[in-house]
Amino acid sequence: MDIATGAPPAADGLLHVSGHPLLPAVSIPPEWAALVRLEEFDGELALSAWSGAPGVGLDVHAEGPPMFCIAVFVEGQACMSIEGGEPLRVGPGMAVVQTGDRGARGHFQMNGGQTVRLLDIRYTPAGLLRAGGRPLAALRGAFVLDRSVPATGALMAGFPAPAALLRLATDVLECRYTAPATRRLYMRAKALEALAIVLETMNGAADGPPVAPRERRQLAQARRLIEARYGEEWTVLRLAREVGLSEKKLKAGFRQVAGRSVHAYLREVRLEAAASMLEAGYSVTETALATGFANLSHFSKSFRQARGVAPRNWVDRPGALLR
């Protein structure tokens, strides 16, 4: 079913929605309610597919129930956090796992004016065990971009989504089955497959060599260089030399501390800076050159892919004043 209930928005213009027991009661703009399709199962599993290009942003503070959640971002950028924890910023090609053996408050935010394609799968703790997963307590410590709050028993972490998980998310988002029984069977199978992929990925992450404290400081320096000097031409070799690491250690370690490759992180930082420059009144050409894009066509294509709108239309996109 769609999350949109058919009820009129409240005085604040938001729809107040409470759906599956695994989903928190939230207030969201009607545009967002209309783009989310919730697959109804028993009380132990919920799967929701998000697909659309809302003109307004989504900014939600809510308390969620105990659960194990897998989110896969095919398109769109988001920022999320558990109350008391650091924010986790994710973009296309990223996956997020969240667990908790008791409810936790959190914050989820996505800007309007971008294409959103997102898969969200949630199991109850009991449903996770019945599906073949491990107890929530056994899942801690196996991730690469950890934003957990151990004091509250809540874990949230991001990592580059394996190719198999991205293909699975795309299959779900583009599912053409309409017969209810067939669709339910297909979606349940995909939820189980996603769980298997994530658990296998976590096993691999847990078995990988830890990053030494000195190397972690060097990798943090590499991130700061990209964030401060994104307009420069950064190659892996140049960045590695700047921070005193080998190319191999930089590439492997950067994925662990940043959750993505050096190239993907540089691209993300550049496009974030570009959006700010366009809003400040710079021309598309000025913005492209200042953010390290020598080719204007490549800049426009990259910006549209990440933000869902051409750079020349960024300031005038629907909902721009609501950011």
**Domain harbouring 74, CATH code:** 2.60.120.10
Tell whether 5 is covered by a domain.
no
Residue type, 195: L
pTM of the prediction? 0.64
Residue type, 158: G
pLDDT at 63 (0 to 100): 85
Kindly state the tokens that stand for 118. 């997102």
Cα–Cα distance measured from residue 52 to residue 77, given in angstroms and rounded to the nearest whole number: 13
pLDDT at 321 (0 to 100): 44
pLDDT at 44 (0 to 100): 87
Dump pLDDT digits (tens) for 295-318: 999 999 999 887 778 999 888 765
5: confidence class by pLDDT, cuts 50, 70, 90 = very low
Residue 15 has pLDDT above 50, yes or no: no
Residue 3 has pLDDT above 70, yes or no: no
Q: Looking at the structure, tell me whether residues 20 and 140 fall in a common domain.
A: yes
Owner of token pair 């809302």: 54
128: confidence class by pLDDT, cuts 50, 70, 90 = confident
**Domain harbouring 318, CATH code:** 1.10.10.60
Dump pLDDT digits (tens) for 180-232: 999 999 999 999 999 988 887 766 554 456 667 788 889 889 989 998 999 99
pLDDT at 155 (0 to 100): 83
pLDDT at 268 (0 to 100): 85
Query: Which secondary structure element, helix H or strand E, spans residue 159, and what is its range?
Result: strand 154-160
Contact 57, 112 (CB under 8 A): yes
Residue that is last in its domain, among 154, 180, 207? 207
78: confidence class by pLDDT, cuts 50, 70, 90 = very high
42: confidence class by pLDDT, cuts 50, 70, 90 = confident
Tell whether 138 is covered by a domain.
yes
Residue that is last in its domain, among 189, 207, 225? 207
**319 backbone dihedrals φ, ψ, rounded to 5°:** 85, 5
Of residues 140 and 220, the one with the higher pLDDT is 220
Query: Which secondary structure element, helix H or strand E, spans residue 90, and what is its range?
Result: strand 88-90
Tell whether 169 is covered by a domain.
yes
Domains held by the chain: number:
2
> CA-CA distances (angstroms) from residue 120 to 61, 70, 97, 249?
17, 6, 10, 33
Look at 32-41, 165-174, 208-217 and tell me which has the smallest mean pLDDT.
208-217
Residue 143 has pLDDT above 60, yes or no: no
Boundaries of domain holding 264: 213-322
Q: What is the largest CA-CA distance in the chain?
A: 59
> CA-CA distances (angstroms) from residue 182 to 51, 165, 285?
21, 21, 50
Residue that is last in its domain, among 187, 207, 227? 207
Residue percentage of the chain with pLDDT more than 70: 83
User: In 3-state terms, what secondary structure has residue 4?
Assistant: coil
Residue percentage of the chain with pLDDT more than 90: 41
